[in-house]
Amino acid sequence: GQSLEQPSEVTAVEGAIVQINCTYQTSGFYGLSWYQQHDGGAPTFLSYNALDGLEETGRFSSFLSRSDSYGYLLLQELQMKDSASYFCAVRGSNDYKLSFGAGTTVTVRA
């Protein structure tokens, strides 16, 4: 099976930078995804990393190190609308399933 660990909560002020770490244990590995979920809403896709390195999409970046079984999501220039839960999810085999972490609640303060 798969297990993923990420911090449960992070609080930061507007304009700050937040890094959400995700470590995983899987029997196989094909990729790591990140999803954002606002309170009461549906998860929305942010990024997918299959190879080592940093992927940047606007204010959000995602990093993967397969040798360390580790990835992170970097949120820059934090805005109030970034207050949400963020989930990492691993694709651990060459099928069609994702396993999700328990999520990190990010609270942005003025």
**CA nearest neighbour of 13 among 84, 72, 75, 79:** 79
Asked if 95 is part of the footprint of another protein (rule: CB under 8 A), the reply reads yes
Asked if 91 is part of the footprint of another protein (rule: CB under 8 A), the reply reads yes
Q: In the chain, what is the greatest distance between 2 CA atoms, to the nearest angstrom?
A: 43
- Exactly one of 42, 51, 57, 94 binds another protein (CB under 8 A); that residue is 42
Stretch that binds another protein, among 18-26, 64-72, 73-81, 101-109 (CB under 8 A): 101-109
Q: How many chain residues touch another protein (CB under 8 A)?
A: 21
Asked if 33 is part of the footprint of another protein (rule: CB under 8 A), the reply reads yes
Take residue 81 and report the two structure tokens written for it.
């609308």
Least gap, CB of 15 to another protein (angstroms): 28
Are 72 and 19 within 8 A, CB to CB? Answer: yes
Give the three-state DSSP class for 50: coil
Are 82 and 108 within 8 A, CB to CB? Answer: yes
Distance CA 59, CA 69 (A): 24
Least gap, CB of 46 to another protein (angstroms): 9
Binding site for another protein (CB under 8 A): 31, 33, 35, 41-45, 48, 87, 89, 91, 95-103
